[in-house]
């Protein structure tokens, strides 16, 4: 929890929790888990919202017949961590509004100087999807080169991977779900694909002028370099155009609220 969600709570699953009713009314609707991860999710949300959290020692009388399914519980907790990490990196949770209305200070995201919020997480997910797409592209290209010239093989390989790449980035990198806007995103993605096609095709054409009988390995090396450049261009256009974030209107802050969230542990 400390490493993935940057929380400072030492015991998130102790069975004793106390929370003010007005704070609970704001946080509980945002808690999605209904199992063992419920209280952990509540604490992480409270901490990210800027609420005060106190851990108080308690006397614990253990029940020797207490039972828990370790594997299923651990699996559910890991799934909860991944879900919350994605929600934080995509900005799906209204943390800024929570801090403005019930928190104790301005929202300060743990980001690098000069790096926009969420950019690092988007880059990581985009790079992972890009790696899979590149491997798929190369496999298709190599398979088609047995029966096609390099230009048509490049066109087919890019076209096959472009649609899947756009859909994967829409959902995983930028956290957009549902069918609304999917067709527009695919159309815009195809325009981005056309730029990538021009870049890679131009590279192949330049290689053919430079060495008409270049070895297949040299051809692949040039294509990988061109695809890296096309990938960088695709990320910039995806973030700034295709899946750009619309800035919501700021909500009204209730400065008179003085929240307290106190949690006992151990």
Could you list the residue range(s) of the whole structural domain that residue 178 is in? 119-241
pLDDT of 265 > 80? The answer is no
Residues 135-145: tens digit of each pLDDT: 898 899 889 98
d(CA 245, CA 89): 13
Classify residue 253: in a domain, yes or no.
no
Residues in the chain: 266
Cα-based distances in Å from 265 to 17, 81, 113, 171: 8, 20, 35, 37
SS3 109: coil
Query: Are 103 and 161 members of one domain?
Result: no
Query: Are 150 and 207 members of one domain?
Result: yes
Query: Are 46 and 92 members of one domain?
Result: yes
d(CA 118, CA 224): 27
Classify residue 166: in a domain, yes or no.
yes
Mean pLDDT of the region 232-257: 62
Query: Which DSSP state fits 179?
Result: S
Query: Are 176 and 129 members of one domain?
Result: yes
Q: pTM for the full model?
A: 0.48
CB 264 within 8 A of CB 17: yes
d(CA 103, CA 49): 6
| Residue 170 token pair | 């829409």
d(CA 81, CA 12): 13
pLDDT of 217 > 60? The answer is yes
Top-confidence residue, 45 or 96: 45
Domain tally for the chain? Answer: 2
């Amino acid at each position: 929890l400390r490493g993935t969600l940057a929380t400072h709570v030492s015991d998130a699953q102790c069975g004793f929790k106390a929370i003010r009713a007005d704070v609970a009314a704001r946080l509980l609707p945002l808690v999605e888990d209904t199992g063992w991860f419920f209280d952990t999710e509540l604490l992480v949300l409270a901490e990210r919202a800027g609420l005060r959290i106190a851990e108080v020692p308690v006397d614990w009388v253990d029940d020797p017949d207490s039972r828990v399914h370790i594997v299923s519980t651990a699996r559910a907790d890991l799934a909860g961590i991944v879900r919350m990490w994605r929600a934080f990196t995509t900005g799906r949770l209204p943390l800024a509004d929570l801090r403005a209305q019930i928190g104790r200070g301005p929202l300060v995201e743990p980001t690098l100087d000069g790096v926009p919020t969420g950019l690092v997480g988007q880059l990581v997910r985009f790079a992972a999807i890009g790696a899979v797409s590149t491997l798929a592209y190369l496999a298709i290209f190599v398979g088609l080169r047995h029966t096609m010239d390099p230009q048509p093989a490049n066109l087919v390989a890019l076209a096959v991977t472009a649609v899947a790449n756009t859909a994967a980035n829409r959902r995983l990198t930028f956290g957009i779900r549902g069918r609304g806007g999917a067709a527009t995103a695919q159309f815009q993605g195809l325009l981005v694909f056309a730029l990538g096609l021009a870049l890679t095709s131009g590279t192949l054409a330049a290689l053919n002028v430079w060495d008409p009988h270049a070895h297949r390995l040299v051809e692949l090396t040039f294509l990988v370099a061109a695809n890296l450049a096309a990938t960088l261009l695709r990320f910039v256009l995806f973030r700034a155009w295709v899946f750009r974030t619309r800035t919501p209107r700021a909500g009204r802050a209730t400065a008179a609220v003085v929240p307290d969230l106190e949690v006992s542990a151990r």
